[in-house]
């Protein structure tokens, strides 16, 4: 018999997935199968399938550390579909053993923040925000969601939970702003962006979105394409480029804000010359090979445009004159 515990501890998740596919309709999994196959599927992003397996475990009679990890994963899964009561239940079961579970529980269910239920969001504000700050942010974010989702037309599993901060660090010292498209959460500084993180959530929830084909340069460009906040880009490092295409693989060689600037110009120009179907194709599969197949020689034309204007002043002019076509 295949040692699934060995495969799990050695992170052979693909091998475990193949076992799951081969036997899922032909055999009754033992508790051990349910546990380690379920944990592996969760690591692979197959959350629904993982949760079905983890829920098949019988009651534990003895301590098993991995069982508590499974309970934490179930807490995350139920949060992701908006069942907050069951989410809390599984976090509480595991939080005394798994410190990360305790962190998730306090992070996702804060007791010291003002909660406001909006049309598309649950908002959580730090208590120092004024009523005017709160009202302005809610109006801005609801408008941004309606604007962006008029293009994506996504029906999410739950409202997006938005945790709003005055500063640029969250409780665990993570830099803001960022989003989690599995949990449908956004942690954001109140003036940092206007559509970037919402776009991450909506685009990654498209049917057939392939996380294995996600590339930072493209993903950031898509998010910036719908971000209405205009940045100055005064204090960033500029680089002489031979081609934009190198950023698919080597984006870490550049200042991150320079990458976002180039990505916004590149992806917005693609959006403006193509159609909705083409844009969805390159969201779901962000590989350069797929871009070439979808857009052909247009890629080279936009690359030439950016390279020709690659000194700082020309790039800023290109950026500030960008207009997203109506959709």
Domain boundary among 143, 169, 204: 204
* One domain for residues 267 and 299: yes
**CATH value at residue 148:** 3.30.2010
Encode pLDDT of 138-193 as tens digits.
999 999 999 999 999 999 999 999 999 999 999 999 999 999 999 999 999 999 99
Please report how the helices 65-80 and 99-108 are oriented relative to each other, as an axis angle in degrees rounded to 10.
20
3-state secondary structure (DSSP) of residue 59: coil
Q: What was the pLDDT predicted at 113?
A: 95
245 in the same domain as 272:
yes
Residue 234: what pLDDT? 83
Q: Are residues 27 and 122 in the same domain?
A: no
Q: Are residues 156 and 222 in the same domain?
A: no
> Are 119 and 142 contacting, i.e. CB atoms less than 8 angstroms apart?
yes
Which residue segment(s) compose the domain that 239 sits in? 206-327
Note the pLDDT tens digit of each residue in 76-128: 999 999 999 999 999 999 999 999 999 999 999 999 999 999 999 999 999 88
Of 71, 102, 133, the last residue of a domain is 102
Residue pLDDT, tens place only, 7-23: 888 888 888 888 888 87
* CA pair distance 265, 234, nearest whole angstrom: 16
Residue 72 burial by Cβ neighbours in a 10 Å radius (0-12, 13-18, 19+):
buried
Residues 240 and 296 in one domain: yes
Answer yes or no: do 210 and 325 share one domain. yes
């Amino acid at each position: 018999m295949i040692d699934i515990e060995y495969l799990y501890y050695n992170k052979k998740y693909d091998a475990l997935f193949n076992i799951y596919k081969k036997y899922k309709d032909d055999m009754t999994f033992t508790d051990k199968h349910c546990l380690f196959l379920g944990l592996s599927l969760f690591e692979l992003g197959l959350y629904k399938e993982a949760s079905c397996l983890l829920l098949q475990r019988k009651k534990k009679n003895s301590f098993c550390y991995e069982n508590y990890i499974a309970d934490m994963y179930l807490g995350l899964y139920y949060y992701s579909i908006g069942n907050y009561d069951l989410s809390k239940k599984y976090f509480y079961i595991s939080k005394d053993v798994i410190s990360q579970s305790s962190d998730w529980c306090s992070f996702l269910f804060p007791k010291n923040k003002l909660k406001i239920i909006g049309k598309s969001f649950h908002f959580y504000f730090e208590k120092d925000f004024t009523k005017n700050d709160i009202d302005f942010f809610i109006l801005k974010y609801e408008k941004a969601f309606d604007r962006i989702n008029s293009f994506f037309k996504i029906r999410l599993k739950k409202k997006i939970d938005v945790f709003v901060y005055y500063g640029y660090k969250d409780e665990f010292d993570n830099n803001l702003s960022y989003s989690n498209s599995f949990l449908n959460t956004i942690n954001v500084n109140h003036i940092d962006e206007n559509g970037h993180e919402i776009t991450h959530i909506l685009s990654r929830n498209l049917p057939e979105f392939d996380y294995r084909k996600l590339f930072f340069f493209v993903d950031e460009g898509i998010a910036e394409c719908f971000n209405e906040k205009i940045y100055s880009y005064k204090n960033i490092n500029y680089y002489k480029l031979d081609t934009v295409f190198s950023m698919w693989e080597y984006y870490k060689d550049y200042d991150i804000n320079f990458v976002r600037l180039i990505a916004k110009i590149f992806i917005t120009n693609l959006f403006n010359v193509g159609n909705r179907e083409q844009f969805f194709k390159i969201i779901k599969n962000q590989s350069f090979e797929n871009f070439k197949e979808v857009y052909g020689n247009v890629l080279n034309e936009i690359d030439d445009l950016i390279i020709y204007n690659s000194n700082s002043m020309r790039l800023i002019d290109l950026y500030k004159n960008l207009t997203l076509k109506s959709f």
